[in-house]
Structure 1
């Protein structure tokens, strides 16, 4: 339970927002004559990222930060 609501409701809204943002990114890429694949996964952060990378045979993972400092 989250204060003022249920987790499932929060998760649904957050997933819809993420899907919207990712679609906007794909649309912008298309306008720039680029093609990107967008994916939204949920779960334990480390397990989900590593599992997805292994499943799709990625050899690099890039994770952005808030631009505070360093790599």
Structure 2
């Protein structure tokens, strides 16, 4: 049995690269994909991308979550792999660190958005926090 690798995944190109890297370079490892619904980011993205006519925030987030889960599972299936997809809500850095501690994770592989300016101040750097506070090795994919 290999290691337990955690991939925080939000469907962004960099999180896709992180998942692809794990699926190809960690063939014997168990992979958990963690999507964190961040209420602050969800409201910000929902407002900037616009909700469909008659669509509620909850419906928008459910559809987004379903799409992200399907994307992760499809990427794994294309490589003959399976992944466990977990969805939690909260502040991403906090949730990732708690998941590592509570689920015997051996390694975290994640993308970094490289945000700057106001988004960085408001949202913080999840990758930076995880690297700084994680009790296990962290690989950041850029």
Residues 19-65 of structure 1 deviation map (CA, whole Å, 9 limit, x = unaligned): 22221220232232111111221112222111111111112222202
The answer to whether the 8 Å contact 1:23/1:38 transfers is no
Q: Using the TM superposition, give the Cα deviation of residue 11 of structure 1 relative to its aligned residue in structure 2, in angstroms.
A: 4.6
Q: Of 96, 102, 125, which aligns to 1:49?
A: 96
Q: How many residues align?
A: 66
Structure richer in strand, relative to its length: 2
Helix, strand or coil at the partner of 1:61: strand
Runs of 4+ residues deviating >6 angstroms: none
Helix, strand or coil at the partner of 2:84: coil
Q: Of 60, 64, 83, which aligns to 1:17?
A: 64
CA distance in 2, matches of 1:60, 1:31: 23
Gaps spanning 5+ residues in structure 2: where?
A: 1-42, 116-140
Q: What is the RMSD of the two structures over their aligned residues, measured on CA atoms?
A: 3.2
Q: Of 50, 71, 85, which aligns to 1:38?
A: 85
Partner of 2:73: 26
